Amino acid sequence: MKRMFFVVAAAAIFVSLAITSPAYAATHEVQMLNRNPDNAKQRMVFLPSYLQIAPGDTVIFKAVDKGHNTVSIKGMIPEGATPWKSKMNKDFEVTLKKEGVYGYKCMPHFGMGMVGVIQVGGDIANLETAKGAKMPGKAKKVFDEIFAEMESGE
């Protein structure tokens, strides 16, 4: 009888935790790679380079290949959002709560177009501001492709 009570109590605690904690928040993975396995011509990439997540979700950047990091780009994240900067060659995890568009780069490969976008929620009010941020040639091309994909999906 005591054991039965324990099982019920444990189940009740589990259920209440599932409801009250952000158990619905998902985790997404972005790989940092020297080469896109789907397109050998594309070198130094985040995969996927465009990710849509819900507010409160976590993104894990996986240092699959060496020589990369992830840094949010000034002017390309929603106002009031916290910027991030990871260490080279290390996995990095960021939880994004504020809705909007987040542009980020790999510091050593920014000029080679190693950039990505995370869209949090449905509010893309800062997209135009993000588009106006300063970026080197190849990065601009990659961002333009991602933005076009975003806008066609809306």
Q: Enumerate binding residues for Cu ion (CB under 5 A).
A: 44, 68, 106, 109, 114
Closer residue to Cu ion in complex, CB, 31/52: 31
Name the residue with tokens 């397109």.
39
DSSP structural state of residue 112 = T
* Residue that the structure tokens 């380079």 belong to: 49
How far CA 129 is from CA of 45, 116, 118, in Å, comes to 24, 16, 15
Two tokens, residue 83:
């910027």
Query: Least Å distance between CB 89 and Cu ion?
Result: 10
Query: Which lies closer to Cu ion via its Cβ, residue 78 or residue 113?
Result: 113
Classify residue 75 as left (phi > 0), alpha (psi -120 to 50) or beta: left
Compare residues 76 and 109 and give the one whose CB is closer to Cu ion: 109
CB of 94 to Cu ion, least distance (A): 17
Closest residue to Cu ion in the complex (CB) = 106
In the complex, what is the shortest distance from the CB of residue 145 to Cu ion, in angstroms, rounded to a whole number? 18
**C-beta of 100 vs 116, nearer to Cu ion:** 116
Structure tokens, 67:
């020589």
Nearest approach, Cβ of residue 32 and Cu ion (Å): 6
